[in-house]
Structure formats: structure tokens, C-alpha cells
Structure 1
């Protein structure tokens, strides 16, 4: 297959996003606070504990 640069340019889709709130650090901070306040952090830690324990039982 012989592709020229013009074929690639003609078949390329350009995606763009409009950023409503450029405060990325603030968004990450809000997401972390929500993660902790809703108790999802405990679900993560408990899941990691049981997953690690189960993986060790199945290793033998």
C-alpha cells in the first residue's frame, strides 16, 4: 500500500475540546475530596487487602 502525505492528511480526523474550567488542580482536589467523603477510599483499601490476600492463597 502506498500512502502519500496527502492521503493521510485527507483522512485524518481532528478532535478539539473546549475547556470550561481550566483549573485542573482544583478539579483534582474536588474529585479527591468527593472520593474520600463518599467512602470509596475504604472500598479501595478493603478491596486491595482482600485481593492481595486471595492472590497469596491461590499462589500455593
Structure 2
């Protein structure tokens, strides 16, 4: 892992700052609207029930298999 970091550092050290990609174009800046749309889809498709059932089963298994 260190070797990869060193090679990457050597490759990008001599590049000018404008040669690196520093930002991206945002097509829809409405972040709150995107989060709300994703949450509504999460609830409407029933995935929230799968999440809650998984949390309850995981909590039960953790408590049943722990000692003390």
C-alpha cells in the first residue's frame, strides 16, 4: 500500500493544479429534494420494513449469542 501511495504522489506532484480534476458539474443542485425523493422511494417500496426487521433480528441474535 505504501508503494502505491508513493507512486501516486510522484506522478501527481509535478502536475499543475489546473490539470487535476477539482470539481464536477452538478445537474440538479436540489440536495434536500433528492434526499426526500430517495426516502419516499425507500418507504414506498417497502425497504424500510426489511431494514427494521433486519435490525430487530440482528439485535435479538446479538443478545442471544452474547455471554453476560
Task: Mark yes or no: TM-score above 0.5.
Answer: yes
Question: Which consecutive segments of 4 or more residues in structure 1 shift more than 4 A?
Answer: none
Q: Report the Cα distance in structure 1 between the residues aligned to 2:25 and 2:47, rounded to whole angstroms.
A: 30
TM-score by length of 1: 0.76
Aligned residues: 55
Aligned alpha-carbon RMSD (Å) = 2.4
Structure with more relative contact order (C-alpha pairs < 8 Å, separation 6 or more) = 1
Structure 1: where are the runs of 5+ without partners? 1-6
TM-score by length of 2: 0.68
Structure 2: where are the runs of 5+ without partners? 1-11
